[in-house]
Structure 1
């Protein structure tokens, strides 16, 4: 992220059994590597190649599942390499996506209670995950960490691990990224919708379960709706898609409860707006680019 030019490098292609092609774009996560994964996935999806059954972009890679009886491996590799070359030589490094506002109750009682139960597996047994995160980033207080966490948008770099869980990468210069190590020993419990952080990645736990990311708060509305009760899930039970842009918005308990009531009534919808993710702008001047993204979210 410190470079202002988009780097063009050849990916590494490997096979997984008879049905999987893995494309490693880079060894490390970056906005450029993630853009390439999403752009390749979008082009391959649009081509609807016979025999390709799944296309899964990740942080800095792409996985394709295919039927070799319909699409021979050599033909698939040729198609994917052609798409890679097309993305690399595109004069406009952009993706049509959306920006979404996610209300979060930071420093909530649910994640605080869970964190207190698992301090033996934590680097800093005293205090809270927010205390630890502030110290790790050289910040004066948990409140300063929370401000830094929600003031800039995050790119959904991949979705997975459990159903609907988004991994998110902060759209800021690398020197300004928040980084916090995971727990030394994973928890056996994490509240559903916990906003967590591990390494450089933020996430939202879509369901209750085990986890090792630091816990900072709890999102107010679901991101995984198997029953598809809410309007935002009409087309699919998983809300987030790779390439989405997230803006966290802090809320207090009263608004959190109000949103929960709307969810229970089936009337809640996320605030969101269509945007074009422009890789070069994000690399050249992230502060100005983020300001423009947030203005679009609020209709200015």
Structure 2
């Protein structure tokens, strides 16, 4: 679709690059926000990128809404090439699927769920045509995920599965939101995976939990000392299933400030990815595995 512009109140301009999520839409949003930032338009106070859109906050005493709209449309129509390659990082995230904490929580809210007699994993496996929960977990964890947005709750990442569209995991949210979600829950809603950075309400299906902190306002955790939020748009995540023993071991390492996430710097190229998605994913995952093994 053509880019859609909508004003929000007196201080916001919402720019929608696509009605549906895709990495193409994300890269278009990324290119536009970078171009707008580079243009240095007076009056813009905040640029907030999202999955396939972004929002600008502006001071109407400095720039009139229609003048801002015209400036942004000129940048879009300038025909600058959409960014197709970024320097980023692939990160391994250990996950205890079907853990006791999210299990206890989800069982307290079955009256709000599509499958009252099962679990969130049972439901996700069934509607995605997997014969077992184990098969679903394999499909969820074997391919990488692309972080397209960070926010809504401080440090919470939205992640888009890097597979062909017909293989993407799709799971609707709860019929009614929960009033409780354990911290560091691995959730899923629609086509997006997320990690709940803090304990609180939520409506995404709960698949497991990670021991690795992603948000620390005290910056006491070793891998969050430079910045309290771990994720940034463009990160690539590879989930690795672990058992309870390894989960407890990682928790102890974190408490002793000895845990170091497995991270590999990479150059992600959208055209190469589109040319052969499976091959490209395998190369990304292999680079991460080789880095961990070394």
TM-score calculated relative to the size of structure 1: 0.90
1:81 and 2:51 aligned: no
- Aligned equivalent of 1:69: 61
Deviations 1:29-87 (A, max 9, x none): 1111112112222333445544322111111111011223344545543443344346x
CA distance, structure 2, for counterparts of residue 269 and residue 177 of structure 1: 30
Q: 1:196 aligns with which of 178, 187, 200?
A: 187
In the TM superposition, what are the counterparts of 1:283-298 in structure 2 within 5 Å?
283-298=274-289
1:11 and 2:8 aligned: no
CA distance, structure 1, for counterparts of residue 82 and residue 34 of structure 2: 17
Q: Is the 8 A contact 2:187 2:206 kept in 1?
A: yes
1:132 and 2:159 aligned: no
Do the aligned partners of residues 232 and 76 (structure 1) sit closer, same or farther apart at CA in structure 2, a change above 3 Å counting?
Answer: farther
- Partner SS state of residue 136, structure 2: helix
Please state how far the C-alpha of 1:267 moved relative to its aligned partner: 3.1
Deviations 1:154-195 (A, max 9, x none): 111212221111111101001000111111122111100100
Do the aligned partners of residues 273 and 79 (structure 1) sit closer, same or farther apart at CA in structure 2, a change above 3 Å counting?
Answer: farther
TM-score calculated relative to the size of structure 2: 0.91
- Aligned equivalent of 2:52: 60
- Aligned equivalent of 2:35: 43
CA distance, structure 2, for counterparts of residue 79 and residue 277 of structure 1: 30
- Partner SS state of residue 239, structure 2: strand
CA distance, structure 1, for counterparts of residue 27 and residue 194 of structure 2: 19
Q: 1:272 aligns with which of 259, 263, 269?
A: 263
- Partner SS state of residue 146, structure 1: helix
- Partner SS state of residue 254, structure 1: helix
Do the aligned partners of residues 169 and 91 (structure 1) sit closer, same or farther apart at CA in structure 2, a change above 3 Å counting?
Answer: closer
- Aligned equivalent of 2:106: 115
- Partner SS state of residue 91, structure 2: strand
Q: How many residues align?
A: 291
Q: Is the 8 A contact 1:11 1:26 kept in 2?
A: yes
Please state how far the C-alpha of 1:285 moved relative to its aligned partner: 1.6
Q: Which runs of 5+ in 1 are unaligned?
A: 1-8
1:29 and 2:21 aligned: yes
Do the aligned partners of residues 137 and 91 (structure 1) sit closer, same or farther apart at CA in structure 2, a change above 3 Å counting?
Answer: closer
Please state how far the C-alpha of 1:144 moved relative to its aligned partner: 0.5
Q: Is the 8 A contact 1:93 1:280 kept in 2?
A: yes
- Aligned equivalent of 1:93: 84
Q: Which runs of 5+ in 2 are unaligned?
A: none
In the TM superposition, what are the counterparts of 1:139-154 in structure 2 within 5 Å?
139-154=130-145
CA distance, structure 2, for counterparts of residue 185 and residue 159 of structure 1: 23
- Aligned equivalent of 1:20: 12
Q: Is the 8 A contact 1:230 1:268 kept in 2?
A: no
Q: 1:258 aligns with which of 249, 266, 284?
A: 249
CA distance, structure 1, for counterparts of residue 223 and residue 135 of structure 2: 32
Deviations 1:82-101 (A, max 9, x none): 44346x65276122222111
Q: Is the 8 A contact 2:30 2:83 kept in 1?
A: no
In the TM superposition, what are the counterparts of 1:207-218 in structure 2 within 5 Å?
207-218=198-209
Q: Is the 8 A contact 1:21 1:63 kept in 2?
A: yes
